[in-house]
Amino acid sequence: MELSATAVNVLLMLTNAVLTGVVGFQVYLFKQISAARREHLEFRIEVAERYVKTEHIDKALEKLEERFDKRLDDFINNLKQRNRA
């Protein structure tokens, strides 16, 4: 079974498109992780500067958990919407 030149070109284009999509998604994830790391670092600096008591640290951790949960929920919702499309 030999493939025609057109079929080979179409297969190569599909492979190229899939690889481009994978690389694009990796770049997207890298940007999201970088933003989360930056936010985490800023939050740690804020905690170090402002919060001294244990109660304050607990409040700060709750705030961080809420922000993380919101980002995670947003990310999961975006993935679900992409899968539907």
pLDDT score of 51 = 65
Domain count along the chain: 1
The tokens describing 8, both together, are: 């080979």
Pick the closest to residue 36 from 79, 74, 83, 6 (CA basis): 74
- Residue 19 belongs to what domain range? 5-84
Q: Which residues contact 64 (CB under 8 A, 6 or more apart)?
A: 40, 43
Distance CA 37, CA 40 (A): 5
Could you read off the pLDDT of 17-70 as tens digits, one per residue? Answer: 999 999 999 999 999 999 999 999 988 888 777 766 777 778 888 998 999 888
Q: Which residues contact 71 (CB under 8 A, 6 or more apart)?
A: 36
Write down the pTM of the prediction: 0.49
Q: Taking the CA of residue 37 as centre, how many other CA atoms within 13 Å lie in the half-sphere pointing to its CB?
A: 6
